[in-house]
Amino acid sequence: MVDPVSRRDFVEQLSAVAATWLLAGSGTTDAAGEPRTQETPPRLRFFDAAQAREIEAAASRIIPSDDGPGAREAGVIHYIDRGLATFAKDQQTLFRDGLATLATTSREKYPQAARFSALTEPQQDEILRGIEKTPFFEALRASTFAGMFALPSYGGNRDFVGWKAIGMDTAPVFTPPFGYYDRPSVRRSLLGRSDG
């Protein structure tokens, strides 16, 4: 597995791409505009099947399925694919070049392997460690985290597996008392009103 990211680093990385990756459209239809259910994975828009397999393998080492669902189970590849076809078009070249680098590095290091996704997990981790300071890996890691924890309507976080993994309630219930700020006297002071 790639070195774990601290919570602070994770939040910083996610916030760096949140403006583009999290503010996209709803994603409730497929590429043809047909309604999509959770059981029907979205069609690929940017990647072909072989490219998607490679990106999914790399994302699955960033958030592996060790002790629970990871990037693969969350459908992060569909989130990344949708982003590159729509709101993150400016990163298309970065991902194309990154895929080429991933393939070249994998072949150079392990000539017997046909592709990155065919390597063992420790071999994949070694390849990713070698490129983790590149812009491609940083973009891949950020979009993997975003796809793991964004709303499922954006293409990833299938069945809320990302939220469940961190203990986030998928159906919050807001019942009183909400907090001190809801007290009438505090609310009036926050709004700049006096009691008289």
Confidence class for position 153, pLDDT limits 50, 70, 90: confident
**What per-residue confidence (pLDDT) applies to 183?**
58
**What per-residue confidence (pLDDT) applies to 50?**
96
Tokens linked to 45: 């828009």
pTM check: above 0.75: no
Query: What gap in Å lies between CA 86 and CA 23, rounded to an integer?
Result: 11
Q: Is residue 164 part of a domain?
A: yes
Range of the domain at 59: 7-191
Angle at 121 between CA 119 and CA 124, to 5 degrees: 60
Q: Is residue 180 part of a domain?
A: yes
Q: What is the pLDDT of residues 123-134, one digit of tens each?
A: 999 999 999 999
Q: Is residue 1 part of a domain?
A: no
Q: Is residue 79 part of a domain?
A: yes
Q: Output phi, psi for 154, to 5 deg.
A: -85, -5
Q: Is residue 135 part of a domain?
A: yes
Confidence class for position 175, pLDDT limits 50, 70, 90: low
Query: CA dihedral in degrees (46, 49, 52, 58; nearest 10)?
Result: -160
Query: What gap in Å lies between CA 62 and CA 94, rounded to an integer?
Result: 18
Nearest to 156 by CA among 56, 48, 64: 56
Query: What gap in Å lies between CA 191 and CA 45, rounded to an integer?
Result: 48
In total, how many domains does the chain have?
1
**What per-residue confidence (pLDDT) applies to 82?**
95
Q: Is residue 196 part of a domain?
A: no
Q: Is residue 138 part of a domain?
A: yes
The pLDDT of residue 180 is above 60: no
Q: Is residue 32 part of a domain?
A: yes
